[in-house]
Amino acid sequence: MSPSNRTAQPSALRRIWHKWRFHLNALLLLIPLGFMPKYFADAALFRGDVGLGEHEVGEIQVGPWSLRLAELRNEAPRLSGPAGYMKDFNAALCDACVEQVKATYLRIGKPRSLRAAGVIFFGTPYRMGAQLPVAEKTKADAELWITMEGWDGSMHQASIPLSQASPATLAWLNQQGAKP
């Protein structure tokens, strides 16, 4: 056997690769299909095809105005880096108040002032979003406060129990146990 013949012998790994590489390519094309149902469900959720969110809280009257509130995901708050646990809410203003409301805020617990009214909803008034920080020490009987500020300078507030707004958050808080 000449030296050139010896070098031409492919290794076992190389033989396996050459035999199966096309099958592997087909498999790589098939794998994404498994993720398609979740992808389309998420796309429908973010586009609004399945409503405001996974858990619709309902219509909430805030002074002369009202808004539809929903949890984007019907799940416990997610840890968002060093800022702590966050919960996404979506809201849609009533048709009559779209032109009148300047800003809408969300907060756990009654706000001390308009300046400290909580996180602000951003986006179109027909589908606004807010990321609400949820402290681990939040009490189970806490209330979610909605503050709406009008272009005329007026301010109106309403509250609903957190247990009604997000049962998943309440379950998560109960699971965490009361923290000091």
Partner 1 sequence: MNRVQRPSRLRLRAASLMLCAGFSAGALAHNPMCECKAVDAEQIKCTGGFSDGSGAPGVTLDVIGYDETILLPGKLGADSTVTFKKPAAEFYVLFDAGPGHVVEIDQADIEAP
Residues binding partner 1 (CB under 8 A): 80-83, 86, 103, 105, 112-113, 115-122, 130-131, 133
Please report how close the Cβ of residue 36 comes to partner 1 at its closest, in angstroms: 21
H or E segment at 85? strand 85-93
CB burial readout 90-115, b (16+ within 10 A) else e: bbbbbeebeeebebbbbbbeebeeee
The nearer residue to partner 1, 12 or 83, going by C-beta atoms, is 83
C-beta of 82: minimal distance to partner 1 in Å?
A: 5
Distances (CA, A) of 89 to 6, 10, 154: 68, 59, 24
Find the shortest distance in angstroms from Cβ 5 to partner 1.
Answer: 15
- The smaller minimum CB distance to partner 1, of residues 24 and 96, is found at 24
**C-beta closer to partner 1: residue 45 or 119:** 119
Distance CA 66, CA 136 (A): 29
By beta-carbon proximity to partner 1, the closer residue of 17 and 171 is 17
CB 158 within 8 Å of CB 111? no
Q: How far is the CB of 138 from partner 1 (least distance, A)?
A: 13
Q: How far is the CB of 83 from partner 1 (least distance, A)?
A: 4
H or E segment at 90? Answer: strand 85-93
In three-state secondary structure terms, 35 is helix
Q: What is the length of the chain?
A: 180
106 closest CA partner among 72, 124, 131: 131
Residue placing its CB nearer to partner 1 in the complex, 43 or 96: 43
